[in-house]
Amino acid sequence: MAGTKEKSAGGSLVELVTIVAVALGLALGIQAFLVKPFRIPSESMVPTLEIGQRVLVDRVSFRFRDPHRGDIVVFKPPTGADSNTCGVEHAPDSPCPRATRGRSDTNFIKRVVAVGGDRVKIIDGAVYLNGKRQKEPFARLDSECGLCDLPKEIVIPKGEYYMMGDNRGESADSREWGPITKDAMIGKAFATYWPPNRIGTL
């Protein structure tokens, strides 16, 4: 009887270890291929997202569709983002029209405000597309910051996306270092899960 009990206990331990290993493998697989958690590192997306807030990022949907204006996206910015450098010389009263080559190792989170073919300018922190001011109830506008008045239009290259933080006076974004391509995107932020009082969809 003692030998049977020992075998039973040993079998239960193996089963427990197997369950834990499978669960861990599934969790890692989900994070690697489907959904990734991300912690908000700065105030650039205030008031939509606060510092320390945590979001879930869908890593799949952009394989089947292009990003849309308004999507909140986690991405690898161009290397120019590390030093706030535009990829080309441009007029001081225009947003940066081209990014530097290469990609930073840092993850950023911003909102898509324009797509390829759009004409873009910034006045008092507000985005104007093709001459029309956009409705941006999510944004904290600012007329005083150095990047908030860029009235000379640029055209976003085909296949590229212009990214800006909702907190227009406190965001280093495409206005400084230019648009990004779809392959730089990790995924679309679709929900917040921490802190508990901010749980919800985006």
User: Is 12's pLDDT higher than 90?
Assistant: no
DSSP state of 134: P
> How would you list the strands of the sheet with 150-155, edge to edge?
132-133, 126-129, 119-123, 150-155
193 — phi, psi (to 5°)?
-125, 0
- Report residue 34's pLDDT band, with 50, 70 and 90 as the boundaries: confident
pLDDT of residue 194: 95
The count of C-alpha atoms lying within 13 angstroms of the C-alpha of 37, restricted to the half-sphere facing its C-beta, is 8
Mean pLDDT of 158-187: 98
Total-model pTM: 0.84
Cα–Cα distance, 124 to 142 (Å, whole number): 6
The residue among 146, 139, 187, 180 whose CA lies nearest residue 162 is: 180
> Which range (21-30, 80-89, 150-159) has the least confidence?
21-30
47's tokens: 């008031």
| Residues designated catalytic | 44, 110
CA distance 57 to 167: 20
Instruction: Compute the distance between CA of residue 172 and CA of residue 103 in angstroms, rounded to an integer.
Output: 16
Topology annotation, domain 36-201: Umud Fragment, subunit A (2.10.109)
- For the chain, the domains span 1-33, 36-201
Average model confidence (pLDDT) across the chain: 89
From the list 58, 53, 57, 56, the residue with the least C-alpha distance to 197 is 53
Q: What is residue 25's predicted lDDT score, i.e. its pLDDT? A: 44
pLDDT value of residue 55: 97
C-alpha span between 202 and 72 (Å, rounded): 8
Inter-CA distances, 164 with 24, 79, 93, Å: 36, 16, 17
Each residue's pLDDT tens digit, 46-87: 999 999 999 999 999 999 999 999 999 999 999 999 999 999
